[in-house]
Structure 1
Amino acid sequence: MKLWLKIYLFSLLLLVFTLNISGVILIQKLHNDLLEKEVEKSLSEEKFVSSQLRINSLYMQKIHSDTDYDIDTLISTFMDEYNNSTNGESTQHGNIEILDYQDKVIYSDMKFPDSNEKEELSDLSLGKISYIIRTLEGKQYLYVSGLVNVNNSQIKIHYAKDISNVYVQKMNQYTLFMKLDILICFIFAVFMFFISRLITKPINTLIESTQKISLGQYSERVRIKSKDEFNVLSNNFNMMAQTIEDKINELEMSNIEKETFINNLTHELKTPLTSIIGYANLIRTSKYNEKLFFESADYIYKEGKRLEKMAFKMMDLIYTKTQKIKLIPEKIIPIIYEVKKSLLVKLGDKNINLIVKGEDCILDVDKDLISMALCNLVENAIKASENNSEIYLNVSVLNDKTFISVKDFGSGIAKEHLDKIWQPFYVVDKARSRKSNGAGIGLSICKKIAVIHNAEIKINSELGKGTEVTIIFNNHTEAIGN
């Protein structure tokens, strides 16, 4: 059952219960008060008749002190005077029946239905008045009885009054209350239906947002404009959603970094592996030559160690901060010749001449990372160049800046691709990249290595004429004289 329906039904049931209980209690209270007033009036009337009859008895005793007087005559005379004093409104005062102590009727103007049960007349005593309410022929009557001493004789006064109007009023009040009850409950049900839907609307908004987040829309936020607890709940929910989104982005970034590390490592392994395979094949296919075998084995060993160092460097490149890479002064030209030596096999496959030009200098660098960057740039130049061509690797110092550039005269790159080539896995010529096993991540690695060295990397290219990539170092340089 939905929350709005629970609120709606609970509120309606609570209203019906409290309204009916309150109505019943109120009507019963009014009925009891009215009934109590009628009883008090009847008791007062009974006391009045008893006192007046006693006074008249004493008066008659005083007049007829030497003789006895007739009690029946006294009562008859008194009742005539009593009835005359009411001005004919005996129905308002009730009916009176006077009996002697043996319950013989002395006087009676009782017009109400008679009952065989008259327990109110038994066990009477002077000064004590008893009453009872009976229902006869569908009406309610109040019977009040008292005992009075008249001429040394005990007389019973039986007073009766029709109080049906009290019970009729009670039923009329119940009828009116039921009509009002139905009307109030109907109006409340209609208004509460819309109010309960309105109250729970923010919850539906939260449910929709949680469903969207569960489907992967982590940027979803709740927009609830209110000044109650729902506003606090929505703010806390948005904070939770932001935390979840940050954690998801962190996990995605971690996965991307891991994937990038694997791809970069795979990319960088190709160059030393090519050299290792080439020298291993040279040893395998050549006749035994001690010098050749030693040089080849030594190169394979060095390339293997370089592979090991490269794996750790790539891990540092992906997972550590830039400032954690330690830069030390290194001569640049020897690093460039090591790069050329590692690429001799690939250069030889296309009979390309790598020409190194420029003056040597000392830069604060990480030797392995710079070698990796230059290898990538030269490899890209080899892929773009035709057979029997040339590639220039030039070093120059100008205005306290060091420029290391790799220039080829190959296919070149169109202008619309120049801003995108630094993105990982972006490939300009997919057909050529598949042919050369390129994945499009070499330049992105070079870009990151340049950032680590606080350097810039720029590219100039013209379609069909060639490409020049330049790394510009801003750190302190020291030229080495010849």
Structure 2
Amino acid sequence: MKFRLKITLCMLGLLSVLFGVGGGLLITLSFHDSLEREEASAYNAYQMVLGTLQIVNAASEQTDYADVSETLRQLSEQNEGSWSALRLYTASQTVYEHDAADLDRPDELPALGSCSMRHATTDGDGHLLALSGALEADDETLYLDMAFDVSSLFEARQAQLWTYQWVFLLMAALCAVLSYTLARVLTAPLVRLSEASRSIAAGQLSTRVRVRTEDEVGLVARDFNAMAEAMEENVSRLEEAAARQERFMGSFAHEAKTPLTSIIGYGDLIRGQVLNAEEQTQAADYIVSEGKRLENLSAKLLELLVLKREDVSLSAASPSALVQGLAARWEPLYRAQGIELSCECEEGWCMLEPDLVKSLLVNVWDNARKAMDGRSGSIRVRCEMLVDGCRLSVSDDGRGIPPDALEHLDEAFFRVDKSRARAQGGAGLGLSLCREIVDVHGGSLRFESKVGEGTTVIAELRGGAA
């Protein structure tokens, strides 16, 4: 059963209870009030007749109650319509009777000075209010029965009940229409939520619900949109991760296949003894070169796996001392290639993993060296202290990087110029390793470059203050 139908049925049930009980109670109270007024009026009329008979009987000298009967006849003619039946009788005979065919005598004769009241029905489904009392006449007791027609009260009540039933049915129909319409309006956002959830389940992750209200339903709609947006972002990240993994596997297979093909080819030539001594030496040198490239590739992959799977503990260290100590070792090698390596460091301490930071610097410096394309140039290293770590920036005046390649630099096996990188022995994993090292330190890695002017790599390490 739909929720809107449940609301409609609840409203109908509530209307039935409240309107039914209230209306029925109002009609009943009105009927009893009218009946009580009729009873009071009938009692007064009965007491008037009874008092008149007592006066007449006291003044009369007749013993056959002729004066009493005449008095009752005259009263009936004068008060025609006030009562519908009248009977005066003794225990043995009827003294006077007027239209009393439908008036039954009481089951027990009333005592002197009392007046009993009862309700009776006629053969024509009429309703009578009967009163019975007794008076003393000489040495004998007379009994007086009077009946008043109250059928109009019962007919009025029945008419009110019929009117009430039709009004109740009309109100119920109107309530059903209004309740269903209102429930449809109130549950419309829930229907849209259901449709949106089915759409998302079918793969339409961009589906959202329009929020038009500020009530609880609107709050649910906003929370649903927030959940859908978060889910879409998570799925997008998963898809990007899957795509990167797919590219990683494809690139790894290609990187491993190229040197293996060369090694197998040259090895097969050497085994076939079809090369002279000089060619064999060249083939052996190529095999060693490609083997070292495979060794470098496996070492880089191993470092990446270690960083992804192991927890790294940071310790207090001086970035300035670390940078300057590493530069002192590498500066002679770079100077021999016509490259000037300079450092500008700010003193301070922060939380680092020294070996990983050294690996970060070596990889970035090596990329800067390769960007020179064998010509002279300069590599400038700058170290700045931050509140919660340090900032390392490495700038070179090499060939630069195209803007469309900057966002892919830290992807595994990505190389701006594949042929030049392979000739220089690069595997395309250095900056991926740098990204992992920066992530371990809770920092960020970004690149700034202009083609023909050089590149700046900025690594912010936010492992905390020492």
Query: With structure 2 as the length reference, what TM-score do the two structures score?
Result: 0.66
Q: CA deviation at 1:9?
A: 4.1
Aligned to 2:38: 38
Deviates more, 1:168-177 or 1:234-243: 234-243
Q: CA deviation at 1:396?
A: 0.9
Matched position secondary structure for 2:81 = helix
Aligned to 1:53: 53
Picking from 153, 162, 168, the partner of 1:181 is 168
| C-alpha distance in 1 between matches for 2:448 and 2:432 | 10
Does structure 1 retain, via aligned residues, the 8 Å contact 2:397–2:454?
Answer: yes
Cα 1:145/1:29, change in 2 over 3 Å: same
| C-alpha distance in 2 between matches for 1:94 and 1:320 | 110
Q: Percent identity?
A: 20
| C-alpha distance in 2 between matches for 1:226 and 1:422 | 45
| C-alpha distance in 2 between matches for 1:119 and 1:283 | 143
Amino acid aligned to 1:208? E
Does structure 2 retain, via aligned residues, the 8 Å contact 1:393–1:405?
Answer: no
**Pairwise CA RMSD of aligned residues?**
4.9
Equivalent runs, 1:80-99 vs 2, <5 Å: 82-83=75-76, 88-99=78-89
Matched, 1:420 2:423: no
Does structure 2 retain, via aligned residues, the 8 Å contact 1:422–1:447?
Answer: no
Equivalent runs, 1:295-334 vs 2, <5 Å: 302-315=292-305, 328-329=326-327, 331=330
Deviates more, 1:202-211 or 1:177-186: 177-186
Equivalent runs, 1:266-285 vs 2, <5 Å: 266-269=253-256, 273=260, 276-277=263-264, 280-281=267-268, 283-285=270-272
| C-alpha distance in 2 between matches for 1:397 and 1:335 | 9
Cα 1:22/1:474, change in 2 over 3 Å: closer
Larger Rg: 1
Matched, 1:397 2:378: yes
Does structure 2 retain, via aligned residues, the 8 Å contact 1:142–1:163?
Answer: yes
Aligned to 1:73: 66
Query: With structure 1 as the length reference, what TM-score do the two structures score?
Result: 0.65
Deviates more, 1:131-140 or 1:299-308: 299-308
| C-alpha distance in 1 between matches for 2:380 and 2:402 | 27
Q: CA deviation at 1:11?
A: 2.5
Matched, 1:124 2:105: no
Q: CA deviation at 1:27?
A: 2.4
Matched, 1:194 2:175: no
Cα 1:398/1:288, change in 2 over 3 Å: closer
Q: CA deviation at 1:371?
A: 9.5
| C-alpha distance in 2 between matches for 1:272 and 1:125 | 134
Cα deviation, 1:66-87, whole Å, max 9, x if unaligned, reads xx64250341354256457xxx
Cα 1:237/1:399, change in 2 over 3 Å: closer
Amino acid aligned to 1:137? G
Cα 1:27/1:113, change in 2 over 3 Å: farther
Does structure 2 retain, via aligned residues, the 8 Å contact 1:120–1:130?
Answer: no
| C-alpha distance in 2 between matches for 1:455 and 1:163 | 102
Deviates more, 1:363-372 or 1:131-140: 363-372
Deviates more, 1:8-17 or 1:208-217: 8-17
| C-alpha distance in 2 between matches for 1:371 and 1:403 | 9
Does structure 2 retain, via aligned residues, the 8 Å contact 1:373–1:449?
Answer: no
| C-alpha distance in 1 between matches for 2:119 and 2:332 | 129
Does structure 2 retain, via aligned residues, the 8 Å contact 1:393–1:404?
Answer: no
Amino acid aligned to 1:125? A
What 5-or-longer segments of structure 2 have no aligned partner? 315-321, 344-357, 382-393, 410-416, 439-444, 460-466
Cα 1:258/1:113, change in 2 over 3 Å: farther
Equivalent runs, 1:233-312 vs 2, <5 Å: 233-269=220-256, 273=260, 276-277=263-264, 280-281=267-268, 283-285=270-272, 302-312=292-302
Matched position secondary structure for 2:119 = strand
Cα deviation, 1:85-107, whole Å, max 9, x if unaligned, reads xxx332124432100122x2101
How many residues of Structure 1 are paired with residues of Structure 2 in the alignment?
401
| C-alpha distance in 1 between matches for 2:117 and 2:40 | 12
Aligned to 1:136: 123
Equivalent runs, 1:335-354 vs 2, <5 Å: none
Cα 1:315/1:73, change in 2 over 3 Å: same
| C-alpha distance in 2 between matches for 1:100 and 1:270 | 136
| C-alpha distance in 2 between matches for 1:276 and 1:471 | 35
Cα deviation, 1:140-165, whole Å, max 9, x if unaligned, reads 22222222222231111010122221
Matched position secondary structure for 1:310 = helix
Does structure 1 retain, via aligned residues, the 8 Å contact 2:11–2:175?
Answer: no
Amino acid aligned to 1:97? R
Does structure 2 retain, via aligned residues, the 8 Å contact 1:120–1:144?
Answer: no
Aligned to 1:4: 4
What 5-or-longer segments of structure 1 have no aligned partner? 337-355, 379-390, 408-416, 426-432, 461-467, 476-482
Cα 1:332/1:176, change in 2 over 3 Å: same
Does structure 1 retain, via aligned residues, the 8 Å contact 2:86–2:146?
Answer: yes
Matched position secondary structure for 1:225 = coil
Q: CA deviation at 1:5?
A: 3.1
Q: CA deviation at 1:30?
A: 2.3
Cα 1:93/1:137, change in 2 over 3 Å: closer
